[in-house]
Structures are given as C-alpha cells and as structure tokens.
C-alpha cells in the first residue's frame, strides 16, 4: 500500500491498526430459510454488486457449505456471461458473440420488465449472435440432465443449437408476451451447449439448470459490478416472478450500499425511500423467504485525485448511515442486517485492513483484497451458523 495515494501513517494514527471484530451468530428464528436443516433441501440466492460478482467472497461461502458435507450448485444461471468482472458459479467456460447487448435495471431511468438477474441480454439474429456454454463441473464431468433457456421473442425467432458438438437442431420460436422456456434434453448428461439466433430478436433472461442429482443447497449468485439497490426498485416484480417459472428461494440476501455511498452528497431520506421500494418488490416476489441485508464494507479516502481533500472518514460515515437505514427499513420487511463495516473495526476500518499483512484491502480502498474477501466470507458463514 506504499505510495502517495495512501494517507500517511502520521495522518492515520490509530486508524492504521488492523481490527477484525467477531460478528455474532444471527438469530436462526429470524432467518430460518438460511438455516441448514438436516435432510432439508435449501434454495438460496444472493444479489449484489462487484463485491459478490467475482472474486472469492461467494466461493468462500459455498466452500463453507461443502465443508459440512453438503452438495452445492446453481439452478438459475444469469445471462451475464461476458460482462466484465463477473464470474458465474456453475459455468466452467463460455464464448459469446459481439452482437449481444445488455439491459440493466439499476442504470435505467424508468422501471423495466426484466428477469431475476436484474440484467437481460438482447440479440438480433446474425453471425455474431452465438452463445456457447461449458456446463461441466470443476472435474470436467458432465452432470446436467436438462437445460432450459428462459427467453422472450417479441416477434418470434429461429434458434439453432447443438449439444456436445453433435448435430445442429433448429427451432422456430413463436412471438411471446411472457417469458417462455426452451427445454434442451439429452440421453446423456450435457457437457456443452451451443446456441445461435438465426433470425428474429431474442431477449435472454438466463438458464434454468437441472443436474442429474439435485444438490443439497441451491446457491444462485446475481452479482453485477457497480450495481445498486435501484435495480430491485426498478424491476417489475410480476415479471421477475413469471420469469422464474415457479422457482422460489428459502433465503435471499441483498448486498448493496458501496455504490450508493459513492455520492458525497448522499441523501439519507432518498436512499431510505429507494430501499423501501426495492424491498417491497422483493417481498412481492419472495413473500415468505428469509431475508438478509449485507451492509457495505468500510471505504477509505485516497490522497490523490478528486477525493484528496476529503476527511479520512468521509465515506465511512456515509456507509454507516447506509447500514443504519438498511437495519431500520429492513426490519419492516422481516430482513436481518449484517454489518460488514463492523467486521472491519467500524468507521475507518478500511485503513487498518489495508495495513494488514497480507493486506485485506484493495489499493482503491473500496474493494477488498482476495484475502479480505475470504475473511469476510468466513465471518458471514459463521454468523449464518454454517461454521462453528
């Protein structure tokens, strides 16, 4: 962390000391859908920003479940392959053509009819409309019995597809008013699926995966870099519910706040209203699911660029406000809050995490290092009762 961007040790004083606060185990009665009941299959989903979109935070949580002897796998694959800094559990590799564009809920100025990933992919038929998926596991073993593409075809479309580099099949899709399912089966577990839109326009919401053996825990991750809770506030809950085609979750988690907190003129009342709208929509889609709100980590100030004259705790104080609002508003919707900032030692904790050996903070003092994300994953797993 050496360099003129990092505040000096003299300026930081005691803030340069690394603090990691143990977080309490959350009340299992408040979030029963996130409790691992013996012999009971669980379906869990996380929505959030770049903190969960890539890197080891989510894999650490998944590893905690596997360390208990549970099988874990995704059942809904978001259509965000090819987006920068997005890693999708359950997708070993992919190749996507340049013709695909993206509709994103959190950047839209108006509400959108959009799928559960809060981002849809759109393409017109042509040579660059291909999408290849490698669905094998980490051991390169095929384990998918069935794959269902969740799509809209507003004026109809023609899709070519092949399984495991076999013969090409052509399907004509009728025009749709609601999302539909294109079901792909094989006599053997599916390793790879190759698609191309030959004609028409296709709106891709994602893929529903059905492995040969259902996992003990379904763990779906919907992470988008730079995302905010506005994505949920902008989404049409009826469309999300219809696009899921009957899929529900026992537990849902929303990890947001860092990008909302980047506004130095942060308006607490506006954020509370936005979060209220978002959670209203979440509850319309998942009325009985256990709900967890993961607050933003601490954020520091670099001594370079536009922030160089800000007080050391400028962003820390905003993040604390956001967490407080999440706790207050979330309680009205039956959501439990978890404090990432407190794990880091409270306001200003990012500086101490930056000075840890090895460092637990990224050089931007916004994101964490891989070790920092692993440490956070272990702490959250403990709070959820997934580890001793």
pLDDT of residue 340: 98
Q: How far apart are CA 208 and CA 149, in angstroms?
A: 6
Q: How far apart are CA 221 and CA 290, in angstroms?
A: 16
Report pLDDT digits (tens) over 315-337. 999 999 999 999 999 999 999 99
Q: List the domains of the chain with CATH numbers.
A: 1-74+215-388 (3.40.50.1110), 76-213 (2.60.120.260)
Residue 320: both structure tokens together: 């604390």
Report pLDDT digits (tens) over 353-379. 999 999 999 999 999 999 999 999 999
Q: What is the b/e burial string over 9-41, where b = at least 16 CB atoms within 10 angstroms of the residue's CB?
A: eeebeebbebbbeebeebeeeebebbbbeeeee
CA-based nearest residue to 46, from 381, 367, 333: 381
Q: In a 3-state reduction of DSSP, which class is residue 320?
A: helix
Q: Which residues of the chain have pLDDT under 50?
A: none
pLDDT of residue 39: 67
Secondary structure (DSSP) of 112-142? B---TTSEEEEEESSTT-EEEEE---TTS--
CA-based nearest residue to 22, from 350, 345, 286: 345
Backbone angles phi, psi at 322, to 5 degrees: -60, -45
CA-based nearest residue to 194, from 145, 261, 149, 142: 149
Q: How far apart are CA 225 and CA 53, in angstroms?
A: 6
pLDDT of residue 36: 86
Phi/psi region, residue 358 (left: phi>0; alpha: psi -120 to 50; beta: rest), is: beta
Q: How far apart are CA 120 and CA 45, in angstroms?
A: 18
pLDDT of residue 253: 98
pLDDT of residue 326: 98
Q: Where are the beta strands (DSSP E) in the chain?
A: 42-48, 72-73, 76-77, 93-96, 101-104, 119-124, 130-134, 144-152, 157-163, 169-173, 180-190, 192-211, 217-223, 251-255, 290-294, 335-338
Helix (H) or strand (E) holding 284: helix 268-285
pLDDT of residue 3: 53
Residue 7: both structure tokens together: 């505040």
Q: Which residue has the tokens 């794959």?
A: 147
Q: How far apart are CA 80 and CA 185, in angstroms?
A: 23
């Amino acid at each position: 962390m050496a360099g003129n961007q990092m505040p000096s040790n003299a300026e930081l004083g005691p803030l340069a000391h690394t603090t990691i606060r143990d977080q309490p185990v959350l009340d299992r009665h408040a979030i029963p859908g996130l409790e691992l009941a013996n012999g009971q299959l669980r379906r869990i989903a996380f929505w959030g920003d770049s903190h969960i979109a890539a890197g080891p935070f989510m894999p650490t949580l998944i590893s905690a479940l596997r360390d208990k002897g549970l099988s874990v796998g995704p059942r809904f694959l978001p259509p965000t392959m090819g987006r920068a800094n997005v890693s999708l559990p359950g997708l070993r590799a992919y190749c996507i053509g340049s013709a695909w564009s993206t509709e994103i809920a959190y950047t839209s100025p108006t509400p959108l009819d959009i799928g559960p990933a809060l981002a849809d992919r759109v393409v017109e038929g042509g040579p660059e409309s291909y999408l290849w998926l490698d669905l094998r596991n980490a051991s390169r073993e095929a384990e998918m019995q069935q794959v269902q593409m969740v799509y809209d075809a507003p004026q109809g479309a023609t899709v070519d597809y092949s399984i495991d580099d076999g013969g090409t099949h052509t399907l004509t899709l009728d025009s749709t008013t609601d999302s539909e399912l294109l079901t792909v089966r094989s006599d053997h577990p599916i390793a790879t699926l190759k698609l191309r839109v030959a004609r028409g326009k296709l709106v891709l919401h994602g893929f529903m995966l059905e492995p040969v053996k259902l996992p003990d825990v379904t763990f779906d991750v919907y992470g988008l870099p730079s995302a905010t809770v506005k994505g949920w506030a902008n989404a049409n809950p009826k469309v999300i519910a219809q696009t899921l085609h009957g899929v529900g979750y026992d537990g849902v988690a929303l990890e947001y706040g860092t990008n909302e907190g980047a506004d130095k003129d942060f308006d607490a009342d506006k954020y509370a209203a936005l979060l209220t709208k978002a959670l209203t929509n979440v509850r319309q889609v998942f009325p009985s699911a256990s709900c967890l709100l993961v607050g933003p980590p601490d954020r520091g100030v670099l001594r370079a660029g536009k922030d160089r004259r800000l007080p050391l705790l400028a962003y820390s104080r905003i993040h604390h406000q956001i967490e407080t609002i999440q706790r207050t508003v979330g309680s009205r919707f039956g959501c439990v809050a978890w404090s990432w900032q407190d794990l880091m030692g409270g306001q200003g904790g990012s500086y101490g995490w930056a000075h840890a050996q090895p460092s637990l903070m990224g050089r931007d003092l916004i994101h964490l290092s891989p070790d920092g994300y692993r440490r956070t994953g272990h702490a959250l797993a403990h709070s959820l009762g997934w580890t001793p």
